[in-house]
């Protein structure tokens, strides 16, 4: 896999923790694979992360050098999105024994605070995203996204806790997040954040649920997207999904990233036939239009007219040229009027009828069009 290294360095317990996370449940790799599907789908992707309109996902990296180090997603804008991945989260205090979900939330908030303090102006990282699975509590999956969305409306509340609107459960949920944030801020800076600083941090914080476990809702949807928008053969969707999970596992080990071209190559190298990248759709459409115009132009040279009747010849040369072209490159030469144009026209038509991609270029027309273009350039320029 041709990937770009993130330059991350770890030592001691931190490195052991990363290895242990990869050796455990594969949720992080599945989240990364889901992101890879959105990257491959391009404009067909639907990502509900409150991104500015027109923002596309461009690359995905794993085990980055950022404080939020699980995943990082590059966008079509000047910033990327660091992601902390936790399979299960709970909005309890994290101080009791419990099942560790509360402690997982404290850890996630701590990493988000460190990321925010590293880049408080949001110049490199627009969002601070925490992704968790369907077994997280309702406070994490429903209440917290609602509360954070309310806080993103500037000047609406006199204090942060007012966003709970008097709902006791909402107050507890938001209070736990605020307490974790204050503790982490104190650890990093030696002081507590003031209200505007805390509000700025919470405005960047996002919590999203992704159900990408085996046969999970979002895993099934990712396979549907692969079948509909990425793969020529929809039956390859399950295999392609597993290939992307394996690719993210490799990215994590290498601490690297992969863009759309690399992800497409991973699938192609595994024998998966891909649809044309949407980024080249218009170029391909233009070439197909040019081929159709050229074919219509050459059609007159490929037929014989006797009065009002059109006589169509079955040329053995067409089959001979096709057989040679299937195994290598072919140059067709011959006397004027020998049937070169007719042979190639008929071959192009036959291939198109089979659904093959054909580019038909009439060299004399290209030369003429280039000459006309140069003439126009000379007339509109002081230097020629």
pLDDT at position 268: 96
pTM for the full predicted model: 0.70
Q: Does residue 126 share a domain with residue 187?
A: yes
DSSP 225-240: HIIIIIBSSGGGHHHH
- Please give the residue range of the domain that contains residue 365: 279-379
Q: Does residue 260 share a domain with residue 288?
A: no
Q: Does residue 362 share a domain with residue 262?
A: no
Q: Does residue 283 share a domain with residue 250?
A: no
Choice between 23 and 318, residue whose per-residue pLDDT is larger: 318
Choice between 294 and 106, residue whose per-residue pLDDT is larger: 106
* Each residue's pLDDT tens digit, 34-53: 999 999 998 766 677 888 88
* Each residue's pLDDT tens digit, 21-31: 443 359 999 99
What is the average pLDDT across 265-271?
A: 97
* Each residue's pLDDT tens digit, 197-227: 999 999 999 999 999 999 999 999 999 999 9
Question: Among candidates 266, 191, 256, which has minimal Cα distance to 231?
Answer: 266
Residue 12 has pLDDT above 50, yes or no: no
Q: CA–CA separation, 356 vs 361, rounded Å?
A: 16
Q: What percent of the chain has pLDDT over 90?
A: 49
Which range among 110-119, 185-194, 325-334 shows the weakest confidence by mean pLDDT?
325-334
How many domains does the chain contain in total? 2
Q: Does residue 208 share a domain with residue 329?
A: no
Residue 239 lies in a domain: yes
* Each residue's pLDDT tens digit, 114-133: 999 998 877 777 789 999 99
* Band of pLDDT at residue 232, cut at 50, 70 and 90: very high
Residue 96 has pLDDT above 50, yes or no: no
Helices (H), the chain: 12-23, 27-41, 101-118, 138, 144-151, 168-189, 195-204, 217-225, 237-254, 260-269, 281-299, 316-325, 340-353, 363-379
The set of residues, in sequence order, having a beta carbon less than 8 Å from that of 187 and lying 6+ positions away, is 110
Residue 16 has pLDDT above 50, yes or no: no
């Amino acid at each position: 896999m041709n990937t770009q290294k993130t330059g991350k360095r770890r030592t001691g317990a931190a490195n052991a923790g990363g290895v242990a996370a990869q050796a455990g449940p594969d949720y992080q790799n599945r989240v990364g694979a889901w992101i890879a599907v959105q990257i491959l789908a391009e404009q067909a992707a639907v990502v509900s992360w409150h991104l500015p309109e027109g923002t596309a996902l461009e690359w995905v990296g794993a085990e980055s050098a950022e404080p939020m180090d699980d995943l990082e997603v590059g966008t079509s804008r000047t910033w990327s999105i660091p992601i902390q991945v936790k399979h299960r989260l709970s909005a309890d205090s994290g101080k009791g024994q419990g099942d560790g979900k509360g402690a997982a939330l404290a850890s996630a908030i701590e990493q988000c605070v460190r990321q925010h303090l590293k880049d408080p102006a949001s110049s490199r990282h627009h969002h601070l995203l925490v992704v968790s699975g369907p077994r997280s509590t309702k406070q994490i999956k429903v209440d917290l996204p609602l509360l954070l969305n309310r806080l993103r409306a500037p000047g609406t509340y006199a204090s942060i806790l007012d966003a709970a609107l008097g709902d006791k459960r909402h107050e507890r949920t938001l209070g736990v997040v605020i307490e974790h944030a204050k503790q982490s801020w104190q650890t990093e800076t030696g002081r507590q954040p003031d209200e505007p600083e805390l509000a700025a941090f919470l405005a960047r914080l996002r919590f999203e649920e992704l159900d990408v476990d085996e046969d999970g809702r979002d895993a099934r949807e990712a396979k549907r997207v692969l079948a509909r928008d990425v793969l020529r053969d929809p039956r390859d969707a399950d295999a392609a999904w597993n290939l992307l999970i394996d690719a993210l596992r490799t990215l994590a080990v290498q601490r690297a990233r992969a863009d759309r071209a690399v992800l497409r190559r991973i699938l192609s190298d595994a024998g998966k036939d891909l649809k044309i990248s949407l980024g080249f759709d218009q170029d391909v459409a233009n070439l197909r239009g040019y081929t159709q115009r050229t074919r219509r132009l050459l059609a007159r040279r490929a037929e014989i007219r006797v009065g009002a009747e059109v006589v169509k010849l079955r040329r053995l040369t067409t089959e001979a040229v096709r057989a040679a072209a299937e195994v290598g490159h072919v140059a067709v030469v011959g006397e004027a009027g020998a049937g070169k144009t007719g042979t190639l026209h008929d071959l192009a038509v036959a291939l198109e009828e089979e659904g093959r991609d054909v580019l038909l270029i009439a060299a004399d027309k290209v030369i003429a069009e280039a000459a006309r273009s140069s003439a126009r350039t000379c007339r509109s320029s002081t230097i020629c």
